[in-house]
Amino acid sequence: MKITEVTAPVPKGPGLLINILPVVVVVWGFVGVYLLQLAIDSTSRRQGERLMQELAYFPSGVALREAVIEYREIVADFIWLTAIDYYGRHQETDRRYEWLGHIFEILTTLDPRFVGAYHFGAITLAWDAHKPIEALRLLLNGMKANPLNWQLPFDAGFINYMLTGDYKSAAQLFQVAAELPGAWTVVSRWVPYITAKTGDFETARQMWKDLYYSTENKKLRELIIRQLQVLKLEEGIARLQEAVDQFYEKEKRLPNRIEELVGQGYIKEIPEEPFGGKYFIENGKVRSTTQPGLIK
């Protein structure tokens, strides 16, 4: 080695660069990670949706049940939170609930005694997803696993009464519910409702109200309030329709405007439109500017 090599000053530039390089790389690494995550997040599927799709792979929850060994209840709880999130998100956006039935089936396969899940699942399936038959199937599974629980036959009776129009089954289910231990007093009150008169607004309203006070589930209560408003809308339309029909019978023509009905004394006042829309007459049929499908 020559002396000049040893005494030569150390070149500063590259040395500094080498010292800083790892730090720079790390910083850029994090920037890269951040950008990638941004890109991943913006690609259509959000976290909840992805989980939902993962759950969709389980044919019925049986595979999942075996995979989670002794932690079934807690996994079911986690799916419960996911289901609520899924329901809430779709309720605010597209109001399509394709996976709702499947998710509740998985949940109750993992934890067949989760009565709250059958209850919430059935009501939302029936009224929001418009799948009363699927709701009834869920409740039937629940009744098999919890034969002493009165709420499940009660819900099934309610769905039969309100949606499928099977009053006979509804009456039988209410009777079953009423005889089970701890059954709520209103259940027995509902039995004569069903057997005496079927399909009137006052009964339906009373049933929804009873149901409202039976639950602490906030989402379920919101659904019930919505259904009470829908009921009010339907009742308003029915009352106006009756007046229009009377008007037509006497005057041999259709009223030009809804207000004409009040002016001529066919109806005392125009019923309130619960969603803030307006009633109108179209080809002799009373309608509302509120689109039933768009009610939140």
Partner 1 sequence: MFNRVFGVALNTFRESLRDRVLVALIVTAIVVMAGAKVIQPVAMGEADKIIKDLGLSAITLFCVLIAVLVGGRIVYREVEKRTIYLILARPVRRLEFILGKYLGLMAVLVLSLLIMTAGFYLILLISRVSVTLYLLWAVLMTAFELALLTAVAVFFSTFVTPIASSVFTFIIYFIGHSTYLLKQLAAMSPVPAIKFLGVVLYYILPNLGNFNIRGDVVYGVPLNPQALVLSALYGLVYSLTLLLIAVMIFNRKDF
Length of the chain, in residues: 296
User: Does residue 69 touch partner 1 according to CB under 8 A?
Assistant: yes
Closest CA to 111 of 139, 147, 142, 156: 142
For residues 193 and 209, give the distance between their C-alpha atoms in angstroms, rounded to a whole number: 14
Interaction residues for partner 1, span 77-116 (CB under 8 A): 77, 80-81, 84-85, 111, 113-114, 116
Contact range with partner 1 by CB under 8 A, out of 69-77, 90-98, 199-207, 230-238: 69-77
The two structure tokens encoding residue 196: 């005496």
The two structure tokens encoding residue 254: 């259709």
For tokens 């799948």, name the residue. Answer: 131
Contact range with partner 1 by CB under 8 A, out of 73-81, 151-159, 194-202, 280-288: 73-81
For residues 34 and 237, give the distance between their C-alpha atoms in angstroms, rounded to a whole number: 55
Instruction: Choose between 205 and 219: whose C-beta lies nearer to partner 1.
Output: 219
Instruction: Choose between 113 and 278: whose C-beta lies nearer to partner 1.
Output: 113
Interaction residues for partner 1, span 218-257 (CB under 8 A): 218-220
In the complex, minimum distance from the CB of residue 98 to partner 1, in angstroms, rounded to a whole number: 21
Instruction: Choose between 220 and 243: whose C-beta lies nearer to partner 1.
Output: 220
For residues 126 and 133, give the distance between their C-alpha atoms in angstroms, rounded to a whole number: 8
Instruction: Choose between 80 and 161: whose C-beta lies nearer to partner 1.
Output: 80
Instruction: Choose between 66 and 282: whose C-beta lies nearer to partner 1.
Output: 66
Instruction: Choose between 145 and 237: whose C-beta lies nearer to partner 1.
Output: 145
The rounded radius of gyration (Å) of the Cα atoms in the chain is 30
Candidate list 5, 92, 94, 216; residue touching partner 1; CB under 8 A: 216
Vertex 29, ends 23 and 33: CA angle to 5°? 150
CB 171 within 8 A of CB 194: yes
Interaction residues for partner 1, span 118-147 (CB under 8 A): 120
Contact range with partner 1 by CB under 8 A, out of 183-191, 192-200, 213-221, 236-244: 213-221
Side chain identity, residue 140: L
- 9 DSSP β-pair partners: none
**Longest C-alpha distance within the chain, in Å?**
124
Judged by CB under 8 A, the number of residues near partner 1 is: 25
CB 270 within 8 A of CB 279: yes
User: Does residue 215 touch partner 1 according to CB under 8 A?
Assistant: yes
Q: Applying CB under 8 A, which residues contact partner 1? A: 66, 69-74, 76-77, 80-81, 84-85, 111, 113-114, 116-117, 120, 215-220
